[in-house]
């Protein structure tokens, strides 16, 4: 950590240890204060109706700390060659027969319906796009999956580095290096490019999409982004929830009350049994 509060007087401080040149390029301040984060957490927990009652109605976690978490932000250009099967919908009208019973009499009636068909064509081409601000967590304590769930962050709200922006907050140094982060960023940019190609394809539907993509990472920046970290105990285990310090998005798993889970499963099975009975009764009456 490079910043925190004095443990004796609670005044904000910035540590002077370490290489002063090893600082972030930009810092995004908190837009959501502590009370706002606690309110988001409370609403999130109350929505988890499979969670134990004590967890759902927890007004505040045992600990809630604002942390400026390091992220590597990448700008990249992707150039792809793709091929796919493109489907065009067309429709036809078909007739069919049904058996109906009216006033105790059973008859057969002819009806019509519209059926959707798909005609497939091979297609290929190229696609190019630029992707700015692809974020990769620079903290071993924040796995990439959780970091992605917390996004988006507004990098336009980030300010140029100034040590005073850290005062009073926990600020973490990156523990995942730039080389590792760039490999992750390339994979994520490739995923975004594949989705962009799928959206770009002509026709009504598509299948068997394949692509070869070259990615050029043009810029990498280290940014500190605001995250509220909440910890609480349940049955002697520590659980963690994360809150985006800009948007209020809450990420994390909560323990399940297995009695409620069992009741839910029993209710679903009971409903299926009732539905099956109704269907069988209808089929029996029709025959």
In this predicted structure, what is the pLDDT of residue 9? 44
Q: What are phi and psi of 92, to 5 degrees?
A: -135, 155
**Overall number of domains in the chain:** 2
Write down the residue that tokens 């064509």 correspond to: 121
Q: Is 223 exposed, middle or buried (0-12, 13-18, 19+ CB in 10 A)?
A: buried
Do 252 and 273 belong together in one domain?
A: no
Do 218 and 275 belong together in one domain?
A: no
Do 203 and 274 belong together in one domain?
A: no
Residue 235 corresponds to which tokens in the numbers above?
């049955």
Do 56 and 135 belong together in one domain?
A: yes
Extended strands (E) in 103-172: 105-137, 159-160, 170-171
Do 73 and 180 belong together in one domain?
A: yes
In this predicted structure, what is the pLDDT of residue 282? 63
In this predicted structure, what is the pLDDT of residue 64? 82
Question: How many other C-beta atoms lie within 10 A of the C-beta of residue 170?
Answer: 17
Do 214 and 271 belong together in one domain?
A: no
Which domain does 195 fall in, by range? 3-256
Give how far Cα 285 sits from Cα of 103, 221, 279, Å.
13, 70, 10
Residue 12 corresponds to which tokens in the numbers above?
């904000």
**Would you give per-residue pLDDT tens digits along the chain (287 residues)?**
566 655 334 456 565 544 444 679 999 999 999 889 988 888 887 766 555 555 555 445 557 889 999 999 999 999 999 999 999 999 999 999 988 888 888 888 899 999 999 999 999 999 999 999 999 999 988 999 999 999 999 999 999 999 889 888 888 889 899 999 999 999 999 999 999 999 999 899 999 999 999 999 989 999 999 999 887 766 666 778 899 999 999 887 765 644 444 554 555 565 665 666 665 666 565 55
Do 91 and 157 belong together in one domain?
A: yes
Do 147 and 177 belong together in one domain?
A: yes
Q: Is 163 exposed, middle or buried (0-12, 13-18, 19+ CB in 10 A)?
A: middle
Do 33 and 115 belong together in one domain?
A: yes
Do 59 and 151 belong together in one domain?
A: yes
pTM of the predicted structure, to 2 decimals: 0.74
Query: Is 93 in contact with 110 (CB distance < 8 Å)?
Result: no
Do 111 and 127 belong together in one domain?
A: yes
């Amino acid at each position: 950590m490079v910043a925190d509060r004095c443990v004796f007087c609670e005044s904000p401080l910035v540590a002077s240890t370490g290489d002063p040149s090893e600082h972030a390029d930009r810092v995004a301040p908190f837009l959501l204060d502590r009370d706002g984060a606690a309110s988001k957490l409370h609403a999130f927990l109350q929505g988890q109706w499979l969670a134990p009652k004590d967890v759902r109605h927890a007004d505040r976690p045992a600990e809630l700390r604002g942390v400026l978490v390091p992220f590597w932000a990448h700008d990249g250009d992707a150039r792809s060659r793709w091929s796919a099967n493109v489907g065009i919908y067309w429709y036809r009208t078909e007739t069919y027969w049904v058996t109906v019973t009216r006033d105790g009499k059973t008859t057969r009636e002819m009806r019509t319906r519209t059926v959707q068909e798909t005609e497939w064509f091979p297609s290929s081409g190229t696609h190019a796009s630029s992707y700015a601000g692809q974020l990769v967590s620079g903290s071993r304590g924040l796995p990439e999956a959780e970091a992605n769930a917390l996004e988006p962050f507004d990098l336009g709200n980030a300010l140029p580095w100034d040590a005073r922006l850290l005062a009073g907050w926990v600020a973490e140094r990156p523990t995942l290096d730039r080389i590792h982060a760039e490999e992750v960023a390339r994979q994520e940019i490739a995923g975004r490019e594949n989705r962009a190609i799928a959206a770009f394809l002509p026709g009504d539907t598509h299948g068997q999409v394949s692509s070869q993509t070259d990615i050029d990472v043009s810029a990498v920046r280290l940014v500190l982004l605001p995250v509220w970290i909440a910890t609480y105990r349940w049955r002697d285990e520590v659980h963690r929830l994360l809150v985006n310090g800009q948007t209020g998005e809450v990420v994390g798993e909560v323990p399940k009350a297995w009695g409620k889970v069992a009741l839910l499963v029993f209710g679903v099975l009971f409903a299926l049994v009732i539905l099956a009975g109704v269907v069988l009764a209808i089929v029996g009456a029709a025959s």
